[in-house]
Structure 1
């Protein structure tokens, strides 16, 4: 059933909390990331409706939290490593300050003054065939926001994902604070480009691979969950590892959807 929202509501912020606490998600072995986010969204919305009766509100921004929203980890902060990845839809963002806003929400949930890493991914970019110049025009204002977070100490290291070699080199060379991480999706690039390997080695950039979907939450999926007239704003994924054991202690999402 599609939930009903007040006409006054323009943005929904959904906090899944630690999905490792959601037995319904853990039971579904072999899910890809899109399926995992979708299932977590449905559970969180259902929990909220069960507790509150509906999602109606006369405010422009509504924050939704399910029963299992706590992200508390029973370890000392010095023993934890927190990694964030922010997924953006292919269209250019209208508000670049969303990075700081999303980061603040997540840090409040985790009760931490900083995170170890932050990676930005413009989801769906390669599927849409965006040219290098277009990609840079979208990434550079966003990177300036990340630079502010690096300067403030709230983010200790940061980088970008799913970017071609030419765009990354240009972004790196133009940046005041250099990206120290670059992620490559092996689903679209079977072999890491030699030029990118050489550049990252020369400039002390961590080169990583991943298998996250290019389009994390397609428009069709958003419409199925929230109804017509809603679109994805962004998704912020958090992963908390215990350093000495390499154990994943917490994993969660904050998802923003907005009226078109």
Structure 2
């Protein structure tokens, strides 16, 4: 399969670099996260077309990234002065895919030893009224706890789970979730009971507008011009703590040919 000058005969991992440096994206503050990601991928593909040799290849994967200023921006500050956050969009509970996603963001794109927090989001197509799978969440959570214990991740969070699921996860987990994200498009009012639970346990209750299906199958086909499967996506953000200023934002994602 060929598209955009790429041969999709194996897994391809993309990194968009710092999209804050792309004025065509920053001028669209009202676009959705899916629209933002699609634009970022298009700019990455354009960059690759200009510099086709600017990529890394292994036996089973190809790594493509957009040339940017992330390393220099991070080095401008002591790591403790920065709030580095990752949000991982998962399509299933495959631990190896989660490891790959975190390793790509940490080591390949950001080149840092630790991040402030990681929030996980499990794919829930809007067309399906899918209930939370607590066993699926626990399987991933056990792996995330190891990252916290090793000092690689400071805090853990989860997005778009029912209040009962979050309470069960909190009671069960060895490393408690410090963050819960609620999508106001599906929950117009945050339940008072959840607000109270978060206040009692010093949990950050945040609202957001991300779709858990961050890059739907139809969008994948439109962007790459051929049917492919999204394996995972990660959004990274870097804020200067003392100022609360967002300096860096971007995405890493993994796609591969359909079986």
2:250: which partner in 1?
A: 252
For 1:70 and 1:154, locate their aligned partners in 2 and report how far apart those are by CA, in whole Å: 19
1:133-154 deviations in Å (ceiling 9; x for gaps): xx21321111111111111110
Higher strand share: 2
Match of 2:206 among 208, 230, 237: 208
Report how far residue 35 of structure 1 moved: 1.0
User: 1:242 is matched with which residue?
Assistant: 240
The residue that corresponds to 2:105 in the other structure is 106
- Tell me how far 1:71 sits from its aligned partner: 4.5
TM-score by length of 1: 0.89
1:128 Cα deviation (Å)?
2.0
- Distance change (3 Å), C-alpha of 1:216 and 1:147: same
- TM-score, structure 2 length as denominator? 0.89
Q: CA deviation at 1:216?
A: 1.4
Alignment correspondent of 1:146: 144
Structure 1 partner of 2:60: 60
Q: What secondary structure is seen at the aligned counterpart in 2 of 1:178?
A: coil
Work out the CA distance in 1 between the residues paired with 2:139 and 2:192. 28
Structure 1 window deviating more from structure 2 (38-47 vs 55-64): it is 55-64
Contact 2:124/2:213, CA 8 A, preserved across alignment: yes
2:56–2:64 contact (8 Å) kept in structure 1: no
Q: Which runs of 5+ in 2 are unaligned?
A: none
Q: Are the equivalent residues in 2 in contact too, given 1:6–1:58 (CA < 8 A)?
A: no
1:56-87 deviation per Cα after TM superposition (whole angstroms, max 9, x unaligned): 97842111112336453122222111111111
Structure 1: runs of 5+ lacking an equivalent: none
Does residue 1:21 correspond to 2:24, yes or no? Answer: no
Count of residue pairs brought into register by the alignment:
254
Partner SS for 1:52: coil
Contact 1:82 1:115 in 2 (8 A): yes
For residue 125 of structure 1, report the CA deviation from its aligned partner: 5.3
- Seen in structure 2, the aligned counterparts of structure 1 residues 127 and 214 have a Cα distance that, compared at 3 Å, is farther
* CA drift at 1:204: 2.5
1-side partners of 2:243 and 2:56: how far apart? 44
Give me the whole-angstrom Cα distance separating, in 1, the residues matched to 2:55 and 2:84: 31
Q: Conserved in 2, the CA contact under 8 Å of 1:239 and 1:250? A: yes
Q: Judging changes above 3 Å, is the alpha-carbon distance between structure 1 residues 49 and 122 closer, same or farther for their aligned structure 2 residues?
A: same
Give the equivalent residue in structure 1 for 2:87: 85
The aligned counterpart of 1:3 is 4
Cα RMSD, aligned residues only: 2.3
Range with greater deviation from structure 2 (189-198 or 13-22) = 189-198
Deviation at 1:220, TM superposition (A): 0.2
Partners of 1:81 and 1:53 lie apart in 2 by 33
Deviates more, 1:169-178 or 1:237-246: 169-178
CA displacement at 1:99 relative to structure 2: 2.2
C-alpha distance in 1 between matches for 2:176 and 2:221: 37
Query: What stretches of structure 1 move > 4 A for 4+ residues in a row?
Result: 53-58
